[in-house]
A and B are shown apart, each in its own frame.
Chain A
Amino acid sequence: MRSTFHGIEVSKRGLFAQQSALNTTGHNIANANTEGYTRQRANMQATTGLPYPGMNASLEPGLLGTGVNVVSLQRLREDFLDIQYRNENKRQGYWDARFETLEKLEGIMNEPSDTGLQKVMDQMWQAWQDLSKDPTNTSARAVVRERSKAVADTFSGLYGHLKEVQGDLDNVMGVKAMEMNSLGQQIASLNRQIADVVPHGYQPNDLYDQRDVLIDKLSKLVEVKVTPAANGMVNVTVEGRDFVTGQTSAPVTTQQNAGTGLLDLTMGGDTFVPTTGYLAGAQQSRDEIVPNMMQRLDVLAVNLTKEINELHRKGASLTDIKNGGAPQDLPFFLDASAPAGSKDYPKGAGSIVVNPDILASLDSIAAALPGKGGTAVGNNENALEIAKIKFKVLQAGTGATDLQESSTLDDYYRYTIGQLGIDSQEALRNQKNSELIVGTVDNQRQSVSGVSIDDEMAEMVKYQHAYSASARVMTSMDEILDKVINGMGRVGL
């Protein structure tokens, strides 16, 4: 037998449920622009009908409805899309980092242009040619000296810039490691908050969202895998190693390597070398891309200066000719770190200097080559020989500063620039691709989880009407009861 006020109770439940749903709608709208917010839905279910089954249950027909309840606030999200998103995100991070570096290198090398290394080298060869035209001419000698200084300066300039890029990347590594560490700590902390409430039957949807955003961010830095754990917590592994386990996260730190002076990464106390993601891209940029370019410049610089030095030492300068003609045995270029008076050839692109003897006296430039005709001031044979180095095919070797394939210096440099272009192009292409895929997956994710104002408005109208209608039912109950209470049993009054 239903109670007199049954209808009022049913309407009240209706009002509460619709209100809850309206609140959820309001929450969704409020968070329409919240990063990582997942829309929520108030799931309603009719409450258990009357009579409740039991031994003494009355045998009225049917079950009388008792109204509605919000049974859950569901988070509309698909885990699969998260996995896809994070997979692509790490790729994007990786190519981002590589492209950033390669783009910088392209800017530094500045080829093809009228101010790059190629031009400076060309101008130096020209200067030697001009000197061969006029070996006694002081200004031709001065030009050789200035152009050679420009070559040395350009090499050291490029090398210095590359060093700076490497240093920047090292800083980036440090910052990103700190970021990773902080993300781990925040995820662990959210795990703790979640584990506090889940056992009590709550659904901390917004905490889940926050955690997912953090994991998304982490996935750009490194490769992550997320597995569910007890009480709504997740465990996160990075490249197969435990990173966040329940409420703790493995600390990520950096240490300066005593040998290289660069930072080494550790995770949970052990060395950590990421293989993909932004961190890996940055580390590979720092340890491979930039050093590779430095190495190529070194090879170029060492071979260029060696070739010139070998010839220059055999040649006779104006001073030599004045003194009787024996070659001075003077290298044109020296290593910057060479002690005074030594004849050490430059050991790398960063340490080329023009021999101070040549800086001190233009007459020390050896344009002549002692030979059959004796040595006279008009002898230009050595200048000619040195100018010819531009076209000389240097043999490949196995030493650290040898060319790997036989080629001219120009070819070697052009190959270096070509390779840089190709690498950079590849990085850009991959970066664009992964950006596109991340965008697509994110769209799919948004399609499931994103807040649509249209949706929410329609829902709102729906709930509002249901709310009004429930209220109307209650009014009608009120009227009925009014009739019963105030209108009935008043016969004769």
Chain B
Amino acid sequence: MAIRVTQNMLNSNMLRNLHNSMYSMDKMQQQLSSGSKISKPSDDPVVATRGMFYRSSLMENEQYQRNIGEVQSWLELSDKALDEAGSIMHRIRELAVNSGNTTLGPDSLQAIGKEIEQLKEHLGTIANQTLGGKYIFGGSDIMTPPYDVSAGKITTTNNSEIMLEVSTGIQVPINVTGQSVFNYLGNGGKNVFDLMDKIVNDLKDGKPVNNELGNIDEQIDNLLGVRSTLGARANRIDLIQDRMEKEETTLTEGMSKNEDADIAEVITNLKTQENVHRAALGAGARIIQPSLLDFLR
């Protein structure tokens, strides 16, 4: 027997169809307005959790890049300071060599001493180099000047490296400790400031100081050593930064692939669905209306 179809069945079937097509249009409309394939985890749990992961990773990446920026400014400033310190040391070496010239009288030696005194003062300001109000050679004691200007002595004893995380689980020191640069005791047992004090005193006493060349060279070597570590570190940071930038692109792309709605596809689907909806409405209007009643008089 053929299935009996009643007006109510037609009605409720049509309503159900209309609801379904409205529901899918609503979904697509949501995708269009949000630009995202999903609006809640149940739309696609995998996409949702991956989306959370991407968002989190992007924030980590952003943070690491921020940290790298900080590391770079510390390293650059430290390098510049050490470069300057190097020039000073070379000038001192030059002067020390000159002082060995036997034609120089005590006056000339005293004049050299004066210049070295100035150079020492300059080295002191280098040791007290600040970045945003923080003494970069103070170890972790960033708020106290490592060099005591009035005493003319390096006073820091803090030898702590300050570490920053530049990628998951990787920490690098951002500073060079003043201890390792300015409190390096060579074979002569004197740090660079003490050595300069001795040189100045000798020159004042009219003694040439070319016998200190070995000690000066030791200090210069130490400086160079520290600078090369710094350079190596800067290289490493550059590599990490490069990696972070690439990773950011990959993550952004991944996130986009993961959850971005394909607008062209959605619009096409929406158009199709719209047609279906129109057809359903039209069919409904035709089917629901007439009954035998309309043709009986």
Contact = CB atoms under 8 A, between A and B. Distances in A.
B131 to A, nearest CB: 11
B4 A455 contact: yes
A420 interface: yes
B269 interface: no
Given A424-B42, A458-B292, A119 B55 contact: yes
A414 interface: yes
A410 interface: yes
B67 interface: yes
Interface string B49-66: 101110110011011001
Nearest to A457: B292
B27 interface: no
A377 B141 contact: yes
A378 B49 contact: no
Interface in B164-216: 164-165, 168-169, 171
B143 A418 contact: no
Interface in B255-278: 259
B293 A111 contact: no
A229 interface: no
B242 interface: no
A321 to B, nearest CB: 10
A381 interface: yes
B159 A373 contact: yes
A422 interface: yes
Interface residues of A, number: 67
B7 A453 contact: yes
B8 A126 contact: no
Contact of B292 (A133, A377, A418, A453): A453
Interface stretch (A54-62, A384-392, A484-492): A384-392
A103 B41 CA distance: 10
Contact of B51 (A112, A368, A372, A461): A112
A387 B166 CA distance: 12
Nearest to A29: B293
B74 to A, nearest CB: 10
Contacts of B16: 439
A95 B209 CA distance: 95
A106 B44 CA distance: 12
B51 to A, nearest CB: 4
Given A111-B48, A420-B41, A457-B296, A447 B6 contact: yes
Contact of B296 (A379, A384, A461): A461
A270 interface: no
B134 A136 contact: yes
B42 A133 contact: no
B42 A450 contact: no
A419 B262 CA distance: 26
B12 to A, nearest CB: 8
Contact of A452 (B6, B42, B169): B6
Given A417-B52, A452-B7, A454-B291, A380 B163 contact: yes
B138 interface: yes
A452 B5 contact: yes
B139 interface: yes
A447 B5 contact: yes
A33 interface: yes
A425 interface: yes
B83 interface: no
Interface in B26-82: 38, 40-46, 48-49, 51-53, 55-56, 59-60, 62-63, 66-67, 70
A33 B161 CA distance: 84
Contacts of A388: 165, 169
B6 A446 contact: yes
B140 interface: yes
B49 A379 contact: no
Interface string A376-410: 11111100100110110000000000000000001
Interface residues of B, number: 55
Contacts, number: 185
A182 interface: no
B162 interface: yes
A376 B161 CA distance: 11
A374 B160 contact: yes
Contacts of B240: none
A454 B292 contact: yes
A122 B55 contact: yes
Interface in B112-163: 134, 138-143, 158-163
B42 A376 contact: no
A428 interface: yes
A22 B140 CA distance: 102
Contacts of A390: 60
Given A136-B142, A373-B139, A123 B296 contact: no
A129 B55 contact: no
Interface in B76-99: none
Contact of B49 (A126, A380, A421, A439): A421
A154 interface: no
Contacts of A380: 140, 162-164
Interface in A362-377: 368, 372-374, 376-377
Contacts of B55: 112, 114, 118-119, 122
Nearest to A114: B55
Nearest to B135: A378
Contact of B162 (A126, A378, A423, A424): A378
Residue of A106, A112, A133, A428 contacting most chain B CB atoms (<10 Å): A112
A68 interface: no
A339 interface: no
A111 B36 CA distance: 13
Given A112-B51, A443-B12, A457-B296, 15 more contacts: A112-B48, A125-B63, A132-B67, A132-B165, A376-B138, A377-B141, A380-B163, A380-B164, A384-B165, A387-B165, A422-B45, A425-B45, A450-B8, A452-B7, A453-B6
Closest 8 CB pairs of A and B: A421-B41, A373-B160, A421-B45, A378-B142, A424-B42, A376-B141, A450-B6, A112-B51
25 contacts: A32-B8, A103-B42, A112-B41, A118-B55, A122-B56, A122-B59, A126-B59, A129-B63, A129-B67, A133-B164, A368-B140, A376-B158, A378-B142, A384-B171, A390-B60, A417-B49, A418-B45, A422-B42, A424-B41, A447-B3, A447-B6, A448-B4, A451-B8, A452-B5, A453-B291
Interface of B: 3-9, 12-13, 16, 38, 40-46, 48-49, 51-53, 55-56, 59-60, 62-63, 66-67, 70, 134, 138-143, 158-165, 168-169, 171, 259, 291-293, 296
Interface of A: 32-33, 102-103, 106-107, 109, 111-112, 114, 116, 118-119, 122-123, 125-126, 129-130, 132-134, 136, 368, 372-374, 376-381, 384, 387-388, 390-391, 410, 413-415, 417-425, 428, 439, 442-443, 446-448, 450-455, 457-458, 461
